[in-house]
DNA sequence: TTGTAGGCGTTATCAG
DNA sequence: CTGATAACGCCTACAA
């Protein structure tokens, strides 16, 4: 059972006019007399007429909706980004279709195929951790689908990108640990394929280099699924804790990895920051309520969403092909709390 | 710049056939010879043909998308529900259009108007805290728009509803506090209009009655915006703390209110549970990492989403008008942790 | 077995 | 100033 909404035809019939006259009157065309316009508009308002967006889409070859693909909606960072995207899209009359890959390549491929079979005008995407083959995405881009990357970007595809200044964020976080006399700073990173992993590790190494510390590869661990699988985090934490020369600090390079590691360390009754100082990426307000209150690198998620959406709308609505692409790198905020503050050691 | 995708026409032209033959072949009609079918299908695959969903929508008067309206996406409970909805919708070939009211009536009205101007086949909604006039929603429902309510339901509208067993959840939580010798148990509730508020308060009162305790109205507070505005929470917490006869426990009846109150109490250096025992609704995993670890009433959010989506799809795809509506009340989980466990007082 | 001719709701073009 | 017609991409009676 469906509810049948009024169409232009209904109005035309009721008023003894043609559909074209009605259409023109509703769009306030100059060629219609004020009297007819008024009659038509009044009647339209009365029966609560709304133009059918599907018919418009078919005619105008656009859907007024944009697709968003992230790895997980329930992740605070992503839901904040989506919030930002939504606010801009909404303001400009666009729908947002939100989808999640759950870090799976197959799901990502399926979703892309689905979304781009004409149901979106543009795409905002943070690629899944597993993905390292971007031919599909590249093809879509070459065919003319407007794409904006955020967070996890694909270097080979030339389009707008919105990221956190990951290098600087981790650089400052690591610096802070070094200033707190940490000597063996470990890191747990996301999948090595990801742009964010490379950038964040570069920040870590930059800080160590400045302090003339050696890069010890045994202190660098990866979670291929971005911490979505608890076991992969447990595994690397255990590896770090059973090293001959144990780390005295951890820098956690992804939201999920941060909270999982924190939880694991607590369960093992490891004192933070005394035994291990901890700082990691996370966007949830809740981390301030943790015990110890967690030091975090927080990304300007809402703004990232806003910027990505604005850039995408620019692409979609631009008349000429855009060739000048922007890379927006927004500054993260380093929030130092108890988990990384070593008063004396 | 748009990318032009292949159409049935293109295939027909390329193969010297008519569009209807192509259409039929692609849908595996019995009236087309195997040879032609194969030729057409091969070519379609080769040029990566995908039927245009917009054209299909126009023809079939359905969009294969469902709308979801919640108060806030970034709220863990809602993002988990959305997750559940998405999983079912996705499996059945439906799009999900996610929107948020931010607890504002105007936004809710605008979104409804937008969503229902033919761009969705059905709606899953948890109404905003401010809303107490449901004529709009009622009209939509009467016009035949399939609607499923979850969480915050509208009693006057007769359709499927998926809720947590709120009464029982709060009843058990309050009982737990009573068993822990709490004598003056206060509650902070969401907007009094909401179904969830009424149900949850009923649970509170039921427990007190069983223990032959008086209901002291000064211990019952409301946040009209569901805790979305920090000041409204601060105000009621202050009111409770400055009562002549202070409360020794708090039951917090909404996610946001729970975390805000917890944060306020911590800032005021109030010991939990010694000074005030605390338990509240919350769906974030993070609460176990709080200090003190927070006791919570956790809702089966993912399942709620799944059920709501399944019920909606049933409504949408049902041939005859549905008259037998379900009210699914799923059991919440009471997780007792430090914030409400009083060992000795 | 294949082709022709509408029609879904709208707007642009061309006529009057 | 207003109306008829075609077109967007697809499907389906009805013809051939």
The tokens describing A189, both together, are 């990173």
* Cα-based torsion angle of the residue sequence B117, B118, B119, B120 in order, rounded to the nearest 10 degrees: 110
CB under 7 Å from strand C? A 7-9, 19-20, 23, 26-27, 50-52, 55-56, 58-59; B 16-21, 24, 30-33, 35-36, 55, 58-59, 61
CA distances (Å), A153 to each of A150, A329, B45, in order?
6, 12, 30
Q: Answer whether A6's CB lies under 8 Å from A52's CB.
A: no
The pLDDT value given to residue B343: 66
Q: In the structure, how far is the CA atom of residue B7 from the C1' atom of nucleotide C12, in angstroms?
A: 22
What is the DSSP annotation of A201-264? HHHHHHHHHHTT----GGGEEE-TTTT-SHHHHHHHHHHHHTSSS--SEEEE-SHHHHHHHHHH
Mark yes or no for CB contact A96/B97 under 8 Å: yes
Token pair belonging to A166: 């990951």
User: What CA–CA distance (Å, rounded) separates A148 from A315?
Assistant: 9
**Which among A290, A234, A236 has a CA at the least distance from the CA of A264?**
A234
Whether the bond into B226 is cis, omega within 30 of 0 = no
Helix axes B135-143, B105-116, angle to 10 degrees: 10
pLDDT in the model for residue A3:
60
Strand segments (E) across chain A? 65-70, 95-100, 122-125, 147-150, 161-164, 185-189, 220-222, 249-252, 277-281, 295-298, 327-330, 333-335
Q: In the numeric block, which tokens belong to residue A295?
A: 């030091």
So what's the pLDDT on residue A343? 66
Out of A55, A118, A292, the one facing B52 most closely (by C-beta) is A118
Interface touch B118/A52, C-beta < 8 Å: yes
Give A272 CA → C13 C1' in Å.
74
Give how far Cα B247 sits from Cα of A209, B238, B277, Å. 56, 11, 9
Residue B6 CA to nucleotide D16 C1', Å?
A: 29
pLDDT band at B110 (very low <50, low <70, confident <90, very high): confident
Tell me the per-residue pLDDT of B74-93, one tens digit each, with 9 for 90 and over.
899 999 999 999 999 989 98
Out of B52, B143, B263, name the one closest to residue A3 (CB). B143
The answer to whether A160 and A311 have CB atoms below 8 angstroms apart is yes
A308 contacts A124 by C-beta, under 8 angstroms = yes
Out of B5, B83, B262, name the one closest to residue A289 (CB).
Answer: B262
Q: Determine contact, residues B256/B75, Cβ cutoff 8 Å.
A: yes
CA neighbor of B96 nearest in space, from A103, A25, A95? A95
Q: What are phi and psi of A330, to 5 degrees?
A: -90, 145
d(CA A262, CA A257): 8
pLDDT of residue A326: 95
Rounded-to-integer distance, Cα B121 and Cα B92, Å: 13
Tell me the C-alpha distance between B316 and B147, whole Å.
9
| Percent of chain B's residues with pLDDT above 90 | 73
Q: What is the predicted pLDDT for the residue at B313? A: 96
Q: What integer is the mean pLDDT of B298-310?
A: 98
pTM (two decimals)? 0.88
- A273 preceded by a cis bond (ω within 30 of 0): yes
Nearest by CB: B83 against A73, A80, A144: A73
pLDDT at A239: 97
Gyration radius from chain A CA atoms: 26
With CA of A57 and C1' of each nucleotide, the nearest comes out as: D8
The segments of chain A whose pLDDT lies below 70 read 1-4, 118, 343-345
Residue B73's SS3 state is coil
> Is A39 (CB) below 7 Å from strand D?
no
**What is the predicted pLDDT for the residue at A1?**
41
B76-91 and B301-317 helices cross at what angle (nearest 10)? Answer: 40
Distance, CA of B37 to CA of A188 (rounded, Å): 54
Query: Are B95 and A1 an interchain contact pair (Cβ–Cβ within 8 Å)?
Result: no
Tens of pLDDT, residues B121-162: 999 999 988 888 899 899 889 888 999 999 999 999 999 999
In chain B, residues with a C-beta closer than 8 Å to the C-beta of A55 are 58
Question: Any idea what the Cα angle at residue B189 is, between residues B309 and B297, rounded to 5°?
Answer: 55
Spacing of C-alpha A160 from chain mean position: 14
**How far from chain centre, in Å, is Cα B312?**
13
B12 CB below 7 A from strand D atoms: no
State yes or no: pLDDT of B5 exceeds 90: no
Does the N-terminal peptide bond of residue A164 adopt cis geometry, omega within 30 degrees of 0?
no
* Closest C1' nucleotide to A12's CA: D3
d(CA B315, CA B208): 40
Q: Which of chain A's residues have a Cβ under 8 Å away from the Cβ of B54?
A: 54, 57-58, 63, 118-119
A151-154, long-range: CB < 8 A, 24+ apart: A151/A77, A151/A81, A151/A126, A151/A196, A151/A299, A151/A304, A152/A126, A152/A127, A152/A194, A152/A195, A152/A196, A153/A127, A153/A195, A154/A127, A154/A195
- Is residue B296 predicted with pLDDT exceeding 60? yes
CB-based contact B26:B56 (threshold 8 Å) = no
Residue-wise pLDDT tens digits, B152-209: 999 999 999 999 999 999 999 999 999 999 999 999 999 999 999 999 999 999 999 9
Protein-covered nucleotides on strand C (Cβ within 7 A): 1-5, 7-13
Map out the domains of chain B with their CATH numbers.
8-51 (1.10.260), 62-164+301-330 (3.40.50.2300), 166-299+333-344 (3.40.50.2300)
CA atoms within 13 A on the CB side of A132: 7
Q: Give how far Cα B103 sits from Cα of A39, B62, B136, B145, B225, Å.
A: 37, 29, 16, 22, 7
């Amino acid at each position: 059972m469906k509810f049948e909404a009024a169409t232009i035809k209904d109005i035309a019939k009721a008023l003894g006019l043609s559909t074209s006259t009605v259409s023109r009157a509703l769009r306030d065309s100059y060629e219609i007399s004020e009297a007819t316009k008024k009659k038509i508009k009044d009647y339209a308002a009365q029966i609560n007429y709304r133009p059918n967006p599907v018919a418009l889409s078919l005619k105008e070859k656009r859907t007024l909706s944009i697709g968003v693909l992230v790895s997980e909606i329930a992740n605070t960072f992503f839901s904040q980004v989506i919030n930002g995207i939504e606010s801009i899209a909404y303001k400009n009359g666009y729908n947002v279709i939100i989808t999640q890959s759950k870090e799976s390549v197959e799901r990502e491929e399926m979703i892309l195929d689905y979304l781009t079979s004409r149901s979106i005008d543009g795409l905002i995407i943070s690629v899944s951790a597993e993905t390292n083959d971007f031919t599909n995405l590249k093809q879509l881009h070459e065919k003319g689908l407007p794409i904006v990357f955020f967070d996890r970007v694909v270097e080979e595809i030339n389009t707008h990108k919105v990221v956190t200044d990951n290098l600087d964020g981790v650089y400052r976080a690591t610096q802070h640990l070094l200033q707190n006399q940490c000597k063996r700073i470990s890191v747990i990173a996301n999948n090595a394929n990801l742009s964010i992993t490379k950038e964040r590790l570069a920040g870590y190494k930059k800080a160590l280099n400045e302090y003339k510390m050696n890069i010890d590869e045994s202190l660098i661990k990866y979670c291929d699924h971005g911490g979505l699988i608890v076991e992969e985090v447990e595994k690397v934490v255990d590896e770090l804790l059973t090293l001959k020369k144990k780390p005295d600090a951890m820098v956690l390079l992804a939201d999920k990895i941060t909270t999982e590691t924190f939880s694991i360390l607590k369960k093992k009754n490891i004192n933070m920051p005394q035994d291990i100082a901890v700082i990691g990426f996370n966007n949830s307000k809740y981390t301030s309520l943790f015990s110890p209150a967690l030091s975090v690198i927080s990304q300007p998620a809402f703004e990232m969403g806003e910027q990505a959406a604005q850039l995408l709308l620019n692409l979609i609505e631009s008349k000429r092909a855009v060739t000048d692409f922007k890379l927006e790198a927004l500054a993260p905020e380093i929030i130092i709390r108890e988990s990384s503050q070593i008063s004396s050691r």
